[in-house]
Amino acid sequence: MLIYGTAGGAWVRIRTSNQVECVGCSAFPWAWGTSNDNHVGLAYGGGVEWMITPHVTIKAEYLAANLGTASHTFVGQSYSGTKIVNAGPPITYDYRTDGYSHDLTFQAARGALNFKF
């Protein structure tokens, strides 16, 4: 039987986008934007592997990554309102939303049956 642990650094780049729909507005989407952020944290886990025969093992492991919490703010464009008839393309304005917060902790449990040749 082999019992093991692992730990190290973790990095992720989160790219998100949003669209705002507006009932009765003259354009779709009424607003749109993106958010690009990098997050650094810790990855860790452990497991156990058992030899059933000299050529077959079975294992189970748990892995996790903790990248803290994030608050993403979308930056993009929005239409000023209803398009004026025969006035050309609609006017857009820059906007910055309050965004949203979320937890960046990921977990995985997995098992395997290994055949060694």
In the chain, what is the greatest distance between 2 CA atoms, to the nearest angstrom? 80
What is the residue range of 6's domain?
Answer: 2-115
Residues of the chain with pLDDT under 50: 81-86
What pLDDT does 26 receive? 63
pTM of the entire predicted model: 0.59
What pLDDT does 22 receive? 66
> Which helix (H) or strand (E) is 63 found in, with range?
strand 56-72
Alpha-carbon gap, residue 78 to 25, rounded angstroms: 11
Q: Give the chain's domain count.
A: 1
